Every structure is written in C-alpha cells, then in structure tokens.
Amino acid sequence: MKNALIALLGSTMLAAPAFAQDAEAGSENPASQATYGGQSGPDMSLEAMTPEDEAVNVGLSGQDPANIARYLLASGAGSVSISPDGEMLAFRWDVTGQPQLWRLPVSGGQPQQLTFGNGITFFSWSPDSETLIYGADNDGNEQESYYRIAADGSSEALVLAAVEGGFRSFGDFGADGERIAFASTERNGQDFDIYTADLSTGETTRLYEGTFGFFAHDISPDGTRLIVSETVGEDSDNLYLLDIESREITTLAKPDPRANHTNGGFAWLPDSSGFYFASNEDSEFSAITRYDVASGEMSVVKEADYDLGGIKLCGEAGSYMVYTENVDGFDTLHIDQNGKSASLDLSFLPEGQYQASCSMESSTLAIRASGWRTPGDVYVMDLETGEHSRVFASNYAGLDPNRLIRPESVRMMARDGVELQGLLYLPDESSRTEDGPPPVIFFVHGGPTGQSVASFDPVVQYHLDRGLAVFEPNVRGSTGFGRTYVTLDDQKKRRDSVRDLIDMLAALEEDGRVDTSRAAVVGGSYGGYMVNAVLALYPDAFDAGASLFGVGNWVTALQVASPGLKASDRIEYGDIREQEWVDYYTENSPVTLADQIKVPVLYSHGVQDPRIDIYETEIMVKTLRENGIETPYVRIPDEGHGWRKLKNQLFYFRRQAEFLEEQLMGDTDAE
C-alpha cells in the first residue's frame, strides 16, 4: 500500500499540547483546508474578538504585580529524551513562540534548535542516535505528517506525508532504525489500525485492522513483537502483543471490570523476554507489573497506595528501574537497582512532576522537573555515582521564582459520602489588595479523566499575584485517586461530578480562607463543558464563567467527535448511535438548560479544532446572547484544541484575566 500515506494530510492525539512543523510544509498541505471531526466551520455572523497584531505590553522586570505576559513568557523544557548512546538530550521548547525540537549534550552547554516554523507534535530518537523522527500538523488540526531529521539538524526529509482521514498516533522505532510502528485511521477515517512503515522507501504495511481505538506502543529490542492497546473508555484499555512477522495478535489483558495498562509506559527487558508496565487490574492503584513472554504470566513486582508509573529500565542490562509515585498531584521519583532501592539522594529535585529518560548503553539518567515553581528544568544524573547537575534551567522572564505560590492538597466530603480532592492556591500577603478572604477561581481540568497536578501554570500564578485565590478541583472521574473513583462519573452519573463543584465550593466556604461569595469557574475542553453545566444546573453558585472549547450539545458533540475521542466516548458517555443516549443528552446537554444561566460567560474556540466542533461553543454564545446574558467570545482562526501559539496565548489570557477581575473585583486594569 504505497503511500496512501503520501497523499494528503496528517494528525496527532491530544493530552499534552501537540504542535506543527515548518510554515512551507504546512501552507502547501491540503489538511489546512480540511474539516475533520465534523468541523462545521465558524459562524462569521457572530460578533467575536479575534487575535490581531498588536503591541504586546510585557511590563518591566521586577514590577509588582507582574504583567501577565511575563508569566506566559516564562518557559522551560518540555518532554525530554536521551539518545540511545547516552550522549545527547532532545527536548521540546517553545521559547520561540512555537514548540520546537532542540538538542543539548548531556554534559550541558548551549542548546541547539533543530526545527523551525510552526512547531512539532512529538519526537523520537532512532536506535543509532543519528536521527530523530518528529510529527507536524497544521494549526492544531491534528492531521500529522512525519519527518526525519539528522541529530545535528543538518538535513531533514518528509518520510510520511499526511493522508486524508489519517489521524495518527506514533508508536516506536524498530531495532534497525528504518522501520516505525504507528496507528492511523487512514483506512476509513474512523477506526485506528496498526501499521509499520519503511522510512527509506515510504512503504507502509497494515499489520492489524482495528475497530475504534487500537494503538501501537513499544517494539521489542529484537524487533519481533509490538505492544498494542485497545481503548476502553477514557481511563482504561485492553492489552495485546502483536507478532510483527506473522501478524498474529495475543490477548494479554482484557479485564472486566475495565483497567488501565498503558498510562505508566512500557519497558522491555533487553533480551526481549518480557516487559514492565503499570496496571490497576485487580487493585485500586496502578502497580508495576512484569509480563513474561515465554510463560504468558504476569506478576506484580511493586505496589503502593498511589499510582506508580513513568517506568524506565536504565544502565547495562537494565539493572536500574526508575519510576514515579503520584501523591495527590505531587510526584515522588524512585530509583531501584536489581529490585532494591539504589539509595540515591534525589533531594536536589524541585517539587512537582517528573519525567525521566535513560539508555541501556549508559548509566546517565535525564530528569525533567516541572513544578509549581519550575516551568521545566532538566537534570542529568550518573546512576552509579549519584553525581548530578542541572543542564537546563527554566527562564523566568524577569519573574521572582520565590514569589510563586505552592498549592496545598485539600480533601473534603461530597454530600453522598465520596471523598473529593483538590489543590488550593492562596495569594501571599504581599499580593492581597483588600482585607478579608480573597475571591476564588475554580480551574476545572479536562479529560474528564485528567488530574490537576502541581505543575507550573502561568495563568494561575498570575491571578495569585493579583490577589485572587485559585482552586483546582479533582472531581469524581479524575485519575490519581483509585480505579473506582475514575468510574464514578460514567454515563448517567455525569451530573454527580458537576455537583461535586458545588460541594467543594461549600467546603471552601466553611474553611473560610477564600470568599466563596465571589467565585468564578473556568475550564477547557471537558472542563469547558463543566463550566456550562454547573452554571446551568446551579445558577446561584458562581458569579462568572469562562468556557474554552467546551461542549454545549452532547448529541452533536458525540456524533461528530474526532476518531481519537470516538474510540473511548461510547463507554465514558454512552453510545450515541443508540436512541436511549440521544434522548438522554437531548434532555441533559448544557444548551438545553442554558435558559437557567444568569451570569456573564466568556467563550473561546479554535476554528481548526477537530476534537470539539466550534459549533459547540457558538450555539452557547447564540443562546445566551438571545437571553440577554453578557457573552464575550474569542474566536481564533489558526488554533485547534487549545492555544499552542504564544501570540494567541498573549491575546486570549489577557482578555480572560480582564474579564474575571472585572466580574470578581470590579477591576478592569489586568495587565
């Protein structure tokens, strides 16, 4: 099947924001004109604000409170990966205004930018450390092309052009460095199949024909087997092993009730005899599990009262295992040697979230730290000696990192006895602008199976500097709090999670540290739906809302969802192909209940969004405006599901800050 893949467009999945390649490739790609995920196009008759070229006021270094641009300009390294030979680091960095691929020697020095233009979506080292592969889409439309670039940036080539209907998800390099595995919907535009591609010829081979969501993961070191998962709802999956030569697929795990086997990553043993992964099958929290290829047996090797994940095997023969433990959104990094703690001092790491990368050809470990005070530092550590150094430091854009605020994990009970959790940020005394408790903004995560964690959030820290409190709720349905908790919002239990916001607001009122009589709610994607829903179902609870690219009508949203979402939506929300669910969501969608919304709401959406159709926002804007509700609307032509470009972030978040401060404090001088 010679390039069906060299035909038209390209894609990427969501999660952490994905980004796009150079302007020339993007401008000539037909995907820029395509409408995937049921995208209806914007209603240009609706009055909307659109980002314009404007002078950007960044304020002065040391200014208090700091300009919001300073927070948005503060940056650090994104995902980091060490080369297989252990000599070079590759990482994503958006200091140019677009996420690009950079490299840096493990010994430190001057970072070198490898890609230019509109940005990248992912990257991966080839086994010989000489090249990398990366993905690129067009303005967030998630239709990817794949490119190969020399490790020194001296040459690059398009290796898989985008294909019409081809939403892609990268898997892994084969051992020879000339073959990759990936999943794509190019066969019918809806179902993810498993493919390999020969990078030297562009030839692609479909190994497995899937239904809904089948995804490629890690290839065994001997190149014979590929780990494959099948999406089961937003939080779970079935696990398979695919023989690349015979194309026979073996079921490893298909539990009922469902479980997660992929979030913690995979780590093959160097002799291909088995691999490690994290699973919450038969337990509340994900435990490190080993699969043995010869016997077909699985065994739990390490478990805790919290989710374990981020598994890496490092050093000669993979004698070191590195993994994380997620405690209420704060990571603990663990390093074992031959099954026992390596007793290495990790106190140098700033508090927050950790992502590790290593090689079996070297004892060098790279650690990316992102925390409430750390946009993205990179450390290099010798696993044998414990010696370490910071090779990449965050750029604070003139902000004082000592002024950044640490969140507190707080727990409270819902009215039905379910324990809820969230992260509470309180402005320090120097930021308070008035006596008494500060107003509070609820920032609701997406997913719905996401989790609010202690990572760097420039918008949150800006509001704190202006004297507002921020609360990040992990309502039922969030990950990180057990296998049962994540299922408590499934299908017709969805409103229970909306109600959690009200119970959390009541708990904070009783706590007394924030002024819940002045409260706003903000969220993007699924969080945008939560904003719409809570304002409609509980119209007296919040004083304002900001809904970013959220769902207004579940019927249309589920019917036209992108393939990546349809793979899981039927279990999380119900199968919209059945009349029962059409009837249910016709009655229970925010737009149906919108007549009850009586506070101002700021809406925003990217025109290229393939995940949630722009119609979902615009139907809410029209309905509320017809009802006489103040409804400013920001429409961004060159974005998809989220704001990836700095220029758009600067435009939007300044307007959001102005809007929220005006509603909660009567101020309009946010800057």
**CB of 170 within 8 A of CB of 180?**
yes
Q: How far is CA 542 from the centre of its chain?
A: 27
Which carries the bigger pLDDT value, residue 37 or residue 204? 204
Beta strands (DSSP E) in 114-210 are 123-125, 131-136, 145-150, 156-160, 168-173, 179-184, 193-198, 204-208
Assign 335 a pLDDT band (cuts: 50, 70, 90).
very high
Assign 227 a pLDDT band (cuts: 50, 70, 90).
very high
Express the helix, strand and coil content of the chain in percent, nearest 5 each.
20, 35, 45
pLDDT by residue (tens digit) across 427-452? 999 888 888 999 999 999 998 899 99
Instruction: Indicate if the pLDDT at residue 141 is higher than 90.
Output: no
Q: Of the given ranges (105-109, 148-152, 449-453, 638-642), which has the lowest mean pLDDT?
A: 638-642
The pTM (predicted TM-score) of the whole model is: 0.91
Whole-number Å distance between alpha carbons of 395 and 409: 27
The residues near 103 (Cβ < 8 Å, ≥ 6 apart) are 88, 89, 90, 91, 111, 112, 114, 151, 152, 153
Burial of 70 (0-12, 13-18, 19+ CB in 10 A): buried
The pLDDT of residue 645 is: 87
Q: Which residues sit opposite 195 in a β-bridge?
A: 182, 206
pLDDT by residue (tens digit) across 53-104? 777 789 899 888 999 999 999 999 999 999 999 999 999 999 988 899 999 9
pLDDT by residue (tens digit) across 505-524? 999 999 999 999 999 999 99
pLDDT by residue (tens digit) across 270-325? 999 999 999 999 999 999 999 999 999 999 999 999 999 999 999 999 999 999 99
Which tokens hold the place of 453? 């964690």
Number of C-alpha atoms within 13 angstroms, CB side, residue 141?
A: 32
pLDDT by residue (tens digit) across 459-477? 999 999 999 999 999 999 9
Q: Which residues sit opposite 521 in a β-bridge?
A: 442, 545
Question: What value does the mean pLDDT take over residues 581-610?
Answer: 94
Measured between its terminal Cα atoms, the distance across the chain in Å is 54
**CB of 214 within 8 A of CB of 259?**
no
Strands 374-382 and 388-392: antiparallel
Assign 21 a pLDDT band (cuts: 50, 70, 90).
very low
**CB of 477 within 8 A of CB of 374?**
no
The pLDDT of residue 475 is: 97
Instruction: Indicate if the pLDDT at residue 348 is higher than 50.
Output: yes
Instruction: Indicate if the pLDDT at residue 35 is higher than 60.
Output: no
Question: What value does the mean pLDDT take over residues 221-230?
Answer: 97
pLDDT by residue (tens digit) across 246-280? 999 999 999 999 999 999 999 999 999 999 999 99
Assign 564 a pLDDT band (cuts: 50, 70, 90).
low
Assign 33 a pLDDT band (cuts: 50, 70, 90).
very low
Q: Which of 10-14, 135-139, 324-328 has the highest mean pLDDT?
A: 324-328
Whole-number Å distance between alpha carbons of 122 and 660: 34
Assign 571 a pLDDT band (cuts: 50, 70, 90).
confident
Instruction: Indicate if the pLDDT at residue 37 is higher than 60.
Output: no
Whole-number Å distance between alpha carbons of 487 and 476: 8
C-alpha closest to that of 98 among 21, 6, 170: 21
420 CB neighbour count, 10 Å cutoff: 22
The residues near 164 (Cβ < 8 Å, ≥ 6 apart) are 7, 8, 9, 30, 34, 186, 189
The pLDDT of residue 30 is: 26
pLDDT by residue (tens digit) across 628-646? 999 999 999 999 898 988 8
Question: What value does the mean pLDDT take over residues 493-503?
Answer: 96
State the chain's mean pLDDT as an integer. Answer: 90
Proportion of the chain above pLDDT 70, given as a percent: 93
The residues near 312 (Cβ < 8 Å, ≥ 6 apart) are 265, 267, 321, 322, 323, 356, 357, 358
pLDDT by residue (tens digit) across 392-438? 999 999 999 999 999 999 999 999 999 999 999 999 998 888 889 99
Instruction: Indicate if the pLDDT at residue 609 is higher than 70.
Output: yes
**CB of 611 within 8 A of CB of 641?**
yes
